[in-house]
Structure 1
């Protein structure tokens, strides 16, 4: 069965089942196993001179190993590919995380901070409610690209090998692709390769959000603000989502105790969003998911 036929089925399975605790409390999730591989390379190679070259070597070995593993697993047939694709897509888990932030805010600001700290890398200890909400919406937009559109994109183009290469790269970027004294050199290759693999999916995500929310007329503004964003890719889905739900995103925030004066995305939008904005985001993500899944299913029927 072609990846075009398998992909909409995988999207539906992920949406229905998410991350069953009963299963993953007993077995290590593939993403956890990937994290262990990245951690082993980090602990083994990230020391002494030549850290950038060592990081490049580690990344090359992880990519090659993931491609070979994906090719080998694909030999077991479409059912294995379908199950693994559904496991490695992350739409439902993203929706669940956003729901946890919303429930936390409904209890207290402190609970909201603790919930949003699970999905963002910035400092959360001093966040007020609007900052928590903006962080959740930004994470929802960016992770919809990283966790659903990008893996679906690479699975569609290159099958299970492409999906595993993307996931190991994205995992490596999240673990070692930071500009810290320990990882700036060693994680350089992971961060750059992740940027490359997300180049098209991030822009596709922004286009899907804009198309499904009547924002194509603002594409020039979305494009301009995305290019001013600190990330070459994250700004695209964030700028599109900001306009889709009418709030301002990004703006000043703290990393490692240092305030960063980042510009706002959609600066004329509401800078004091209410919890309803998280609900609006989840609805927007489901709308895009439905449009993407429906389009792929139709294409599979016509072309598959």
Structure 2
């Protein structure tokens, strides 16, 4: 089985089964194990002086561990590689979580806030329906890059070691790569390496979403707004998604009780968005997934 067949099979398994709760109620999810290792390093090493150097050492240790484990798992054959890849690809769970925000928002704004709080890190307590909608769509676009395209990219480039290394660094960035007094220094290496590993996948995600748009948006406009984003990568799929479904994204939002005045992405798009636009986003995610899957199947057949 070639790498294209591995990709296609893993994608299909993830799309059909997603994250089976019965399994992860009995066994720890690999992402949970990664999180425990990262948290342990954070507690033990993120103290005293030279925190940036300690953070670099932590990332080196995490990377070495990820590569060692993946090399061992690879020895058990392609079936294990496919299963692990299917577990670490997040298309089905991403779409399910985003769709849950739409369903909850149709019930009440309170339900919508509770649902979107499951997938975003910002304050949701005072969000109105359009703010809940924007948060869900932004999370969908960013996580399509981080949770689907990037894992597939690194699996294709580096096999199982590339995939597990990426997921480890991405998890580390989500836990310690924050610009807070505690993590600005210790999480610096994790954040910078995650930025580097997402450089190509983020732009590839944006290109795919843009190509699925009707009418086709101007790439220069997407690039301009993406470069204004607080993240070097997240702005690319967000700007493309905003134009695909015709909404304005980003804008003012609260983090840790403080409002931050971010500019709107696609400011001429619909501002009073709601569940219908979240549903449209989920449709785009599955259409983009289908293009990647079809390409992987075609490569598997040809190669």
TM-score, normalised by the number of residues in structure 2: 0.98
Matched, 1:98 2:98: yes
Q: Please give the residue correspondences for 1:22-171 in structure 2 after superposition, counting only pairs within 5 Å.
A: 22-171=22-171
Q: Does structure 2 retain, via aligned residues, the 8 Å contact 1:151–1:167?
A: yes
Matched, 1:199 2:195: no
Q: Does structure 2 retain, via aligned residues, the 8 Å contact 1:215–1:243?
A: no
Matched, 1:187 2:176: no
Further displaced range: 205-214 or 129-138: 205-214
Matched, 1:177 2:177: yes
* Structure 1 gap ranges (5+): none
Matched, 1:4 2:4: yes
* Structure 2 gap ranges (5+): none
- What's the CA shift string for 1:52-106, capped at 9, x where partnerless? 0000000011011101211111111100000000000000000110121112111
Q: Does structure 2 retain, via aligned residues, the 8 Å contact 1:116–1:135?
A: yes
In the alignment of these two chains, the number of paired residues is 303
- What's the CA shift string for 1:202-252, capped at 9, x where partnerless? 000001101122454411111111111111000000000000000000111
Instruction: Name the residue aligned to 2:237.
Output: 237
Distance in 2 between residues matched to 1:267 and 1:215, nearest whole Å: 17
Tell me how far 1:149 sits from its aligned partner: 0.2
Tell me how far 1:2 sits from its aligned partner: 2.2
Instruction: Name the residue aligned to 1:274.
Output: 274
Distance in 1 between residues matched to 2:42 and 2:19, nearest whole Å: 27
Distance in 1 between residues matched to 2:128 and 2:138, nearest whole Å: 16
Distance in 1 between residues matched to 2:124 and 2:276, nearest whole Å: 20
Instruction: Name the residue aligned to 1:18.
Output: 18
SS in structure 2 opposite 1:254?
strand
